[in-house]
Amino acid sequence: MWSILLSSNTQWVLLSTMILGIAAGMVGCIAYFKRQNLMSDALSHAALPGVVIAFILFAEKQLYVLIIGAAVSALCGALFIQAVSTSTRISEDASMGMVLAVFYGLGIMLLTIANRMVSGNQSGLVSFIYGQAAAMVRSDMYTMILLALAVVFILFLLLKEWKVYLFDGGFAKGIGLSVRGMDLLYIGILVTTIVIGIQAVGVILMAALMITPAVSARYWTKTFAMMLLLSALFGGISGAVGTLITALWSGLPTGPFIVVVASSLFIFSLLFGKEKGIVLRFIEQSRQRKTIEAREVG
């Protein structure tokens, strides 16, 4: 069973999902501070119709083709969210929920149609729902790695700009930083991360890979830069370990196991994190209570 780890294909899969986890964790930090955690969930579900439509139109499962379809569909979802929230009384959260439900329902309907086509049963499109890293070929992995590294590079290159954009919009405008441009860049890297990860993690659970590492990192630090690094670390560990489990026991969907690992890291952080972790907070409260009691006795 362990001999599978010596396979070069398995090693490439592990590398690609680890880098995907790093990129997802870092982008999740941006979404966390923008208070748009539901946005990643909505856009990941919105990507499914684009995947299926691209397959129906081109009748082939080339990842770059499906990525383009997913990106167009996800961007349409983002534009719909913006249009509804700005031109109606519907809140942004409600419009995200609408996009999530409508686009995902449309995607499932189209998936049923695609599976009835002559080549549909062999398409493997169902793997885009729950994720199946083992279904990726070498070219898929190269595409995922290159795009994920591009996202990581952009985040590190513009680290100061991200800080100003997230925490002081007024100062950003004062120094000539285009908030509108940063908004578009944020949506761009968010959509890119989602669409490259849906084959490995799945449209349902891709949002969890982005948000869970960021929330976990929040329990360990208060600084943005350190949180970005810790979130990348937690995301990378989740991607690698989750994929390793599914590689050792073939036939298992990758996405759920990656999310289980990420959730385990979150629970550990929730309990033992040095920034308001439950255990350390309990110890601190007990210490303060004993101090107060000692003063009252004295």
Angle among Cα 258, 75, 116 to the nearest 5 degrees reads 70
What are the structure tokens assigned to 121, written together? Answer: 């049963």
CATH at 7: 1.10.3470.10
What was the pLDDT predicted at 2?
57
* pLDDT tens figures, 72-107: 999 999 999 988 888 888 888 888 889 889 999 999
pLDDT score recorded for residue 62: 77
- Give the tens place of pLDDT for each residue, 11-41: 888 899 999 999 999 999 999 998 888 888 8
Provide the pLDDT for residue 73: 94
pTM for this model (two decimals): 0.89
Which has more confidence, 233 or 85?
Answer: 233
Taking the mean position of all CA atoms in its chain, how far away is CA 94? Answer: 20
Percent of the chain with pLDDT over 90: 42
Answer yes or no: is 278 within a domain.
no
Flag whether 265 is in a domain.
no
- Residue 226 falls inside a structural domain: no
Res. 6: pLDDT tops 80: no
In a domain, 188, yes or no: yes
Q: Which contacts (CB < 8 Å, 24+ apart) does range 181-190 have?
A: 185/154, 185/158, 186/30, 186/34, 187/75, 187/78, 189/27, 189/30, 189/151, 189/154, 189/155, 190/27, 190/30, 190/31, 190/39, 190/40, 190/43
Q: Is residue 93 part of a domain?
A: yes
Integer Cα distance of 49 and 122 in angstroms? 18
- pLDDT number for residue 124: 66
Res 122 pLDDT > 60: no
CA distance 180 to 90: 22
Confidence of residue 4 (pLDDT cuts 50, 70, 90): low
Give me the number of domains the chain comprises: 1
Q: What is the pLDDT of residues 7-19, one digit of tens each?
A: 777 788 889 999 9
pLDDT of 252 above 80: no
Domain that holds residue 170: 2-211
Q: Is 264 a member of any domain? A: no
Higher-scoring residue by pLDDT: 158, 248: 158
CA angle 171–176–177, rounded 5-degree value? 75
Mean pLDDT of 271-287: 87
In the chain, % of residues over pLDDT 70: 94
pLDDT at 3: 63
| Residue 254 located in a structural domain | no
Residue 225 in any domain: the answer is no
pLDDT exceeds cutoff 60 at 222: yes
The more confident residue out of 296 and 263 is 263
DSSP 202: -
Q: Are 115 and 56 in contact (CB under 8 A)?
A: no
Arithmetic mean of pLDDT over the chain? 87
Token representation of residue 210: 């982005």
